[in-house]
Amino acid sequence: MHNKENGLYYISNINGKPAEKNGEGFVSVIYKHGKIKELKWATGLNAPKGMDVIDGKLYVSDIDRVALIDTKTGKVLKFIDIPGSVFLNDVAAGPDGNIYVIDTRKGVIYVLKSDVASVWSNDEHLKGVNGITVENGSLLIGSQGYLLRGDTKTGKVTVVTEVPIQIDGLVPLGHDRYVVSAWAVKILYLSPGKAPKELFDAKPLNFHTADMSYLPEKKLLLIPTFTDRMIAKEIVY
């Protein structure tokens, strides 16, 4: 994910099995052009996945807790337990200043208010929920078969459009245009009311697509792969 505060990118490295509590997970920092600044910048994590930054602090999912990391030093300031969670995945700093964390296996979205966790939504459309970001003051959510929108003021979840995949990463392009990834090797372009358009199929390259970041000034999509220790790139017009 891109830290707009310092221009750097953070990459989470599971370094083991996706639900393994081995303390070997870490976060890397890379420059915008792709060169590694520090490979093991933040360490001692359990299968870290989604992350977002707010007020100089990086929140990173850590299976059943969230790591809070100082973006200046890479030091883990504390771990925030999320009782009842089993497989925390993506993370988003909401428009209201709260942190939203999804649990893919439970189909639940949690909210951290002043670093205290509670269930924000367990809507029926959240089955397999796997991606979350912010667009135009609301939450944009990807699940099994749906692109969703969540209102942080009311807690209401609505369907933006149906999709033929389980969404992992998602990037809003503006004007009702979206790019989404599926762990099962697909990158799709979505626009409600139109058929999904395939932008990229990673199957011939034998790697799995995961979460994504987007550089709008270059129309460049950065796609970390799940098992291949690399970041792919794709031009989006």
pLDDT tens, position by position, 125-180: 999 999 999 999 999 999 999 999 999 999 999 999 999 999 999 999 999 999 99
At residue 93, does pLDDT exceed 60? yes
Cα–Cα–Cα angle for 147, 152, 154, rounded to 5 degrees = 105
pLDDT tens, position by position, 183-210: 777 889 999 999 999 987 877 766 777 7
Q: Determine the CATH number of domain 86-237.
A: 2.120.10.30
Does the domain at residues 1-81 carry the CATH identifier 1.20.120? no
Domain boundaries, given as residue ranges, for the chain: 1-81, 86-237
Q: Which residue has the tokens 């270059």?
A: 218
What is the model's pLDDT at position 237? Answer: 42
Report pTM: 0.93
